[in-house]
Amino acid sequence: MGFPLSGLGPRLGRVGFALLVAGALWISRAAQAQGPQGPASPYPLLDELHPAAQAGTEPPLTAGPDAVPIPSAVARIVADPSAPPRFSAGATLAVSRSSETNSSLTVGTPVLRGLVSIRPHVLAEIDWGFALMLDSEWSAFARSGNPWAKGWYRGERGRVHWYAGVGITAPLASVNISPDGRNQRALYDQSAAAWGLWDDWRWTPGRMALPVPAALSFAFSPRVIATAEAALAPVFGVRNGASGTDLLGQLALGARFLLVRDLWLCPRLQAVLLPSASVDQLQTAAGLRVEWTPRFGRFFLGALVNLDEPLGVFGRGTQSWGIHLGKELDL
């Protein structure tokens, strides 16, 4: 849960970040000491089916002795291009909480996602986030985020897998011109903070965006995978008095470590470049996620902490944390 840490925040934040780094190093050694496991997804964002579709069930498709095994579900698609499209659905919930004197605020931001493989290397995806608020007086309201439709092209060469895409958002997020408008804007701000401002165009009222995302992963082994993500997005106002064009940018570095069969640890460090009109130009955050990947889908639970102003635990930030949990299911 995100909550103000008043005083203890900076100290706990530094300790937590140090534990994150130390844990990642320890897990790396532990993972390398494990015996060979089943084929692992190098980057789960674009899986049609769960990566552990699974070792031993079908022979993996490889390009050579050093190639990373491809999940058998993907191997079937490559082997039979005429096979019908594969669908995947998922949902992620980020939750944060803030408290002030005699009041508290809990915000939940569920994001629903659907993915379809059109051709072996071409995929289409849509995700839609919602913002929900519950205050200490048990009053609640909800707002829609901006739906985001995107197309992906993926490729691979040996241990390297890459993804590039382009998308567009629909300006459904809005703020009323009424006494409730302030609360609605605060809800969108809190929702963005729970994600460390990542994909911030989901929560910008009255604006559209044309995000251009890309990702790269390198598999040191089926048990240790490094990932990088980046995106640029021009954002422009289209309603409710929003005007001007801004450019948002973001970059994330992460890794996936196989602890034991079907259980992964995924540390992540991300940075978001804010619009030029912002006083604070860069928002950084660190996250740690545990993923369980049985045959019937992927479950995950993680935490994200903003590191610097305007949201972070260092300095005079609002000390925002977020808890993320989710599920992805193949259809």
Closest CA to 134 of 1, 9, 5: 1
Which residues, listed in sequence order, are joined to residue 303 by a DSSP beta bridge?
Answer: 288, 323
**Per-residue model confidence (pLDDT) at position 33:** 42
Looking at the domain assignment, is residue 42 inside a domain? yes
Q: State which residues form the domain around 187.
A: 8-330
**Per-residue model confidence (pLDDT) at position 62:** 43
Give the chain's mean pLDDT: 75
Looking at the domain assignment, is residue 273 inside a domain? yes
Query: Which of 33-47, 179-193, 309-323 has the lowest average pLDDT?
Result: 33-47
pLDDT at 54 over 60: no
Structure pTM?
0.74
**Per-residue model confidence (pLDDT) at position 102:** 65
More reliable by pLDDT, 314 or 273:
273
With a CB cutoff of 8 Å and minimum separation 6, the contacts of 302 are 266, 287, 288, 289, 290, 323, 324, 325
Find tokens 């699974």 and name the residue: 54
pLDDT at 240 over 80: no
**Per-residue model confidence (pLDDT) at position 48:** 40
Looking at the domain assignment, is residue 28 inside a domain? yes
Structural domains in the chain (count) = 1
Looking at the domain assignment, is residue 2 inside a domain? no
Answer whether the bond into residue 65 is a cis peptide, omega within 30°: no
CATH number of the domain within which 95 lies: 2.40.160.40
Query: Which of 31-35, 253-257, 276-280, 310-314 has the lowest average pLDDT?
Result: 31-35
CB 320 within 8 A of CB 286: no
Residue 228: pLDDT band (50, 70, 90) is: very high
More reliable by pLDDT, 241 or 298:
298
**Per-residue model confidence (pLDDT) at position 66:** 46
Closest CA to 132 of 194, 70, 72: 194
Averaged over 115-135, what is the pLDDT? Answer: 89
pLDDT at 296 over 50: yes
Residue 64: pLDDT band (50, 70, 90) is: very low
pLDDT tens digits, residue range 130-159? Answer: 999 887 666 778 899 999 999 999 888 888
Query: Which of 29-33, 202-206, 222-226 has the lowest average pLDDT?
Result: 29-33
pLDDT tens digits, residue range 242-280? Answer: 667 889 999 999 999 999 988 999 999 999 998 765 566
How far is the first Cα of the chain from the last one, in angstroms, to the nearest whole number? Answer: 31
More reliable by pLDDT, 38 or 135:
135
pLDDT at 52 over 70: no
Query: Which of 23-32, 71-80, 189-198 has the lowest average pLDDT?
Result: 71-80
Looking at the domain assignment, is residue 1 inside a domain? no
With a CB cutoff of 8 Å and minimum separation 6, the contacts of 136 are 102, 103, 104, 105
Residue 184: pLDDT band (50, 70, 90) is: confident
**Per-residue model confidence (pLDDT) at position 264:** 93
Residue 179: pLDDT band (50, 70, 90) is: confident
Highest mean pLDDT among 53-57, 212-216, 314-318: 212-216
DSSP, collapsed to helix, strand or coil, labels residue 51 as coil
DSSP-derived secondary structure letter, 279: S
